[in-house]
Structure 1
């Protein structure tokens, strides 16, 4: 089968098309003939830094849509040929991928495989950030870093649907600001945000901050919280040292900090993943959330997709087209 792998860490140029052996599902697993693969920042971190890479060579990718090829022993509730979307731990840049059955979901009625490929990692993450971990209440304010990306695009729509009093975003360019404003955001700040947030909230601060950046950006978000505010860290795009906070930062205003990773949840709490995913996918099926595909590449052109995403100029969702 065709696949794209890297044999060393580095820039997009280390991604190479290869011919690989067909993977077979083990007990509790499902193999999938891939139609589309989502391109995510975690793929770039795997390629550049070895994030979640057990060994080299490595086929990246954690988000696919396609059709069930084969079922491993003990798998029920799915059928060969059924249209599904899945969250494999890796290996999605290929014509066939194997995933745990607990991370394979039927495509909701009314959605095609192209749309379905935008959902498995992004939408449950966004739903958890707004509802499950972030616990956003009607009337509260929320600020989202990376508001024009896939997760940010979904969060803006979910927060608006949840009755947020104000939805603020942070992006790196005016073009990204325009994209975010068309997907649920009231105001979008380009670059720095502490002073604009203070002005926008009348000095009160924010009820909820969602941060995939880490480092100084996370600390600025923490300092921007209102009394009893919450911050959710869901990534470390800055590459900074892991954050740590304690009573000096939290106690004076009763704020809290939590973390979230959809891949860790899939590995450690698959039942919780399924409950979360079902709630999240319902928001796509009923039209609450739409994730625009802004760029699509052939599988062999995965390096170009990484260049676009890594250049921080993209908006919405990027896909690899795997099936002809």
Structure 2
């Protein structure tokens, strides 16, 4: 980072910024950022090669620090249920009584949560073992987030606590503690408290319920499961701060904390009855029917003195006073009942309930003479459909059978088992005017691919060599290639099912050469030819030091028998001991050329093996990428240090140079001077990971 000393610092000064961004590896971006003055004439700040990378979220290490999120929990659905705020106590009782006695507590909780989707719940449990039969666990999936549920456990022992820790209940449990202990500081007050039937036999029931009731908010509600209409638990609660809203004999009761403020309007006990007084106006049409007149009369009787009637002359305009949402609802109900008179008996009463209640809802539907409200809930059915799409599935498919074009990539660099084929976006544009289309038959895997897959070098596409058959040729390439030609290719992203590539990066292969052999040759032949012929300008009789991974005796034997390399000229390259061996073989002079791929300390000592007027050609990427230092002393012998990277030939001029290198190298192949790499291991695509592991 470079910062100018006189960078503007005035408030409001706008600094124009230019940012150049490109991919660096599979999951990194490299940016160059330049900040100028307002006239764009002076550079004030520059940041070169600023890199950002995707974060790998290790759920195992961070499980205790963050909530695990299900990526499939993204769908929702609209559900209608009865609105507590617009129901009379008898109406709530009617709704809850429609289910079996043992299910009424769950039904009442579900009704409460429908009206209060963001509510938090604490359920009382006699001991940890009882959590397996908790009332909240009986709710339908998607009713409430698990993070909104907690369980206050009354009686604990070391054994029961350990057993409770292994239960699979939805939500978290905590120790309620003794009456003299302070309440847990990390437990927030809840909107709804649940007292199950199993707690009624507790020996200190009064103390327990008083302590538990203090966990509710000032306006909290409480659901009590009962075995009789007036059991001990109900009496204790009513003696404290709770008032009963309703109860269903031998099953369940709903309580709410008593409010200290005075009610200004009618209440069902569940609401606070604090509706602000306002005048209501009904606009009647000029020609009233018997149905609309009946509705208006019934509504007037329901609302009493709060209602005034609009003159017919004004009724032709927008009904006055309808800026309030609840007043608009009354107008809507009147409009509906002007066309449907069957429910005229309940319509005015329902409209009156809406107006006189504290509800913030503005959309209702009538069912069985009662009002329902809508809520948006998480949809378990929809989420399951999404989850099935997200689940990893393995299907054996032939690459050649795919209609889409595929490209090899790695999802997590460093993990070879995440190598996978994805759709090749490069093939979504038309064939270029200088390109050919090639049906890929084989691709070559070299050590650079392994380093890229392991995340050791920054490349965005894997694979540099391939072979196949030309299937289409552009006008500029027609003079060189025709459909049916057998070719080998050198570029990036070659592990693909089909390729569109510049014709300069392709060469013909002999008819006798297999596609497997052809795919193994472009990179090694082009690199060696460019390094030794073009850069080093190697002449007959000169010596070359080439590091090879020769850990096994059979590889040494291969060099001696197939390539006639004397045994004394084969050194150990795993450590720096080869330096003395080179000096010994060359009589202390050193070698004329080093074609190096070693890194770190081994690169440094290889650099010292040069003779006067010699050349060191670096082909490795690790030290270049890491910007390592290079000793200067070997330059005193008039030596040359050069670096070659075939990926640098990406512009038009570079493609010409790379194409000539490839053509010159394969001219020796056609003459029989250069042969195939040996030994050559061939793997099917299904064993790609095995082949990469063997190379590694």
Q: What band does the TM-score fall into relative to the shorter chain?
A: 0.7 to 0.9
Asked if the contact 1:110/1:285 (under 8 Å) is kept, the reply is: no
Q: Relative to 1, partners in 2 of residues 1:293 and 1:261: Cα closer, same or farther, differing over 3 Å?
A: same
The correspondence of residues 79-98 of structure 1 with structure 2, limited to 5 A, is 79-90=482-493, 92-98=494-500
Please state if 1:178 is matched with 2:582.
no
In 2, the alpha carbon distance for the partners of 1:52 and 1:30 equals 28
Residue of structure 2 equivalent to 1:253:
637
- The match for 1:12 among 397, 411, 416 is 416
In 2, the alpha carbon distance for the partners of 1:261 and 1:103 equals 15
What SS is found at the alignment partner of 2:459? coil
Asked if the contact 2:456/2:622 (under 8 Å) is kept, the reply is: no
Residue of structure 2 equivalent to 1:168:
none
The correspondence of residues 206-285 of structure 1 with structure 2, limited to 5 A, is 206-236=591-621, 241-245=626-630, 248-265=632-649, 267=651, 269-285=654-670
The correspondence of residues 98-109 of structure 1 with structure 2, limited to 5 A, is 98-108=500-510
What SS is found at the alignment partner of 1:297? coil
Residue 17 of structure 1 deviates from its aligned partner by 4.5
In 1, the alpha carbon distance for the partners of 2:433 and 2:420 equals 30
In 2, the alpha carbon distance for the partners of 1:285 and 1:50 equals 35
In 2, the alpha carbon distance for the partners of 1:288 and 1:5 equals 35
Indicate the structure (1 or 2) with the bigger Cα radius of gyration: 2
Residue of structure 2 equivalent to 1:114:
516
| TM-score, normalised with respect to structure 1 | 0.78
In 2, the alpha carbon distance for the partners of 1:125 and 1:197 equals 24
Residue of structure 1 equivalent to 2:678:
292
- The match for 2:438 among 12, 22, 32 is 32
Residue of structure 1 equivalent to 2:47:
none
What whole-Å deviation, never above 9, does each CA across 1:152-204 have from its counterpart, x for those lacking one?
Answer: xxxxxxxxxxxxxxxxxxx3333332223322533211233101111111111
Residue of structure 1 equivalent to 2:449:
43
In 1, the alpha carbon distance for the partners of 2:426 and 2:526 equals 29
In 1, the alpha carbon distance for the partners of 2:438 and 2:564 equals 34
Q: Relative to 1, partners in 2 of residues 1:16 and 1:133: Cα closer, same or farther, differing over 3 Å?
A: same
Q: Relative to 1, partners in 2 of residues 1:297 and 1:19: Cα closer, same or farther, differing over 3 Å?
A: farther
Q: Relative to 1, partners in 2 of residues 1:261 and 1:22: Cα closer, same or farther, differing over 3 Å?
A: closer
In 1, the alpha carbon distance for the partners of 2:423 and 2:654 equals 34
Asked if the contact 2:434/2:476 (under 8 Å) is kept, the reply is: yes
Please state if 1:123 is matched with 2:525.
yes
In 1, the alpha carbon distance for the partners of 2:636 and 2:606 equals 16
In 2, the alpha carbon distance for the partners of 1:50 and 1:203 equals 35
What whole-Å deviation, never above 9, does each CA across 1:103-124 have from its counterpart, x for those lacking one?
Answer: 1112245433232212211111
- The match for 1:62 among 456, 461, 464 is 464
In 1, the alpha carbon distance for the partners of 2:485 and 2:571 equals 43
Residue of structure 2 equivalent to 1:190:
572
Asked if the contact 1:36/1:117 (under 8 Å) is kept, the reply is: yes
Q: Relative to 1, partners in 2 of residues 1:22 and 1:135: Cα closer, same or farther, differing over 3 Å?
A: closer
Asked if the contact 1:37/1:117 (under 8 Å) is kept, the reply is: yes
Structure 2: gaps (5+ residues): 1-401
How many residues were matched structurally? Answer: 281
Residue 46 of structure 1 deviates from its aligned partner by 2.1
Residue of structure 2 equivalent to 1:162:
none
Asked if the contact 2:610/2:634 (under 8 Å) is kept, the reply is: no
In 1, the alpha carbon distance for the partners of 2:621 and 2:510 equals 31
- The match for 1:71 among 459, 473, 476 is 473
Q: Relative to 1, partners in 2 of residues 1:75 and 1:29: Cα closer, same or farther, differing over 3 Å?
A: same
Residue 79 of structure 1 deviates from its aligned partner by 1.2
In 1, the alpha carbon distance for the partners of 2:625 and 2:423 equals 36
Q: Relative to 1, partners in 2 of residues 1:102 and 1:41: Cα closer, same or farther, differing over 3 Å?
A: same
Asked if the contact 2:457/2:622 (under 8 Å) is kept, the reply is: no
Aligned-pair Cα RMSD in Å = 2.6
- The match for 1:142 among 516, 539, 544 is 544
What whole-Å deviation, never above 9, does each CA across 1:244-275 have from its counterpart, x for those lacking one?
Answer: 447x3244211111111223235561112222
Residue 240 of structure 1 deviates from its aligned partner by 7.8
In 1, the alpha carbon distance for the partners of 2:511 and 2:663 equals 13
| TM-score, normalised with respect to structure 2 | 0.38
In 2, the alpha carbon distance for the partners of 1:73 and 1:9 equals 39
